[in-house]
Amino acid sequence: MCYLVFRLTEADWEPNMTGRGKGRIFELQHFRDRVEVFRDRSSAGKVLSGMLEMYRNSNALVLAVPAGGVAVGAAIAKQLLLPLDVAVVSKITPSWNTEVGYGAVAFDGTVMLNEDLLARLHLSREEIEQGIAKTKAKVNRRLKMLRGDRPALDLSRPVILVDDGLASGFTLHVAIQALKKAGTHEIVLAVPTAHEESLDKVIREVESVYCPNIRGGLSFAVADAYEYWSDVEEGEVVELLKEFYP
């Protein structure tokens, strides 16, 4: 392992919490390797906001990954009096399995492929190109739906990148690369739950990670961290954003 892990209790959620240098992961020890620790995405966001108290009313931007990450991000932004926007990124999937992502497309058009997984899927070049084109169209449609005519984001400020969980981490990896290309120099990743091996990879790319529920083992599902879990529809995301952009 190449990072430092800070195990916190609720008493440690103080505005002056230190340790934000590169290579640091903050977790809550009493959530380690547990399931169903959050009621839903909103409650998970409230837990994270307690860990991120030092960013309250700062110049940081909460940037949530649709769809599930927006519910978490909205709770963080409300609690900490921060602006909220979206980092649209979508995985590229084969036609026969929408859960398997062999790559991802980000909001700026960045495309990255998971070559290790592609080698096992045996897809033709045509199938890969079709998957990329379809995903680019999805990302552009979501950008138009969720951001509309709002001006381009100022990504030179600190960014708190939020999703509802981190499994393989590839989609978030692509989002992080797109943010860096856009000029973001301080990226803090905030996810309610994550697999510890995936955190080992992503921590090299960001300033710090805040993740209350870290789990290990051979089997990992983001949904297992929540009592109530369901897919988030695009309409729900639109309604959440209306609270910040009426």
Q: pTM for the complete prediction?
A: 0.88
Torsion region of 77: left, alpha or beta (phi above 0 gives left; psi -120 to 50 gives alpha): alpha
Type of residue numbered 37 = V
Task: Return the SS3 of 49.
Answer: helix
d(C-alpha 56, C-alpha 152), whole Å: 23
List of residues 6+ apart from 149 with CB closer than 8 A: none
Could you name the CATH architecture of 22-215?
A: 3-Layer(aba) Sandwich (3.40)
pLDDT in tens, the chain (246 residues): 333 444 444 444 433 233 333 458 999 999 999 999 999 999 999 999 999 999 999 999 999 999 899 999 999 999 999 999 999 999 898 877 777 788 999 999 999 998 888 888 888 889 899 999 999 999 999 999 999 889 888 898 999 999 999 988 888 999 999 999 999 999 999 999 999 999 988 998 999 999 999 999 888 999 999 999 988 999 999 999 999 987
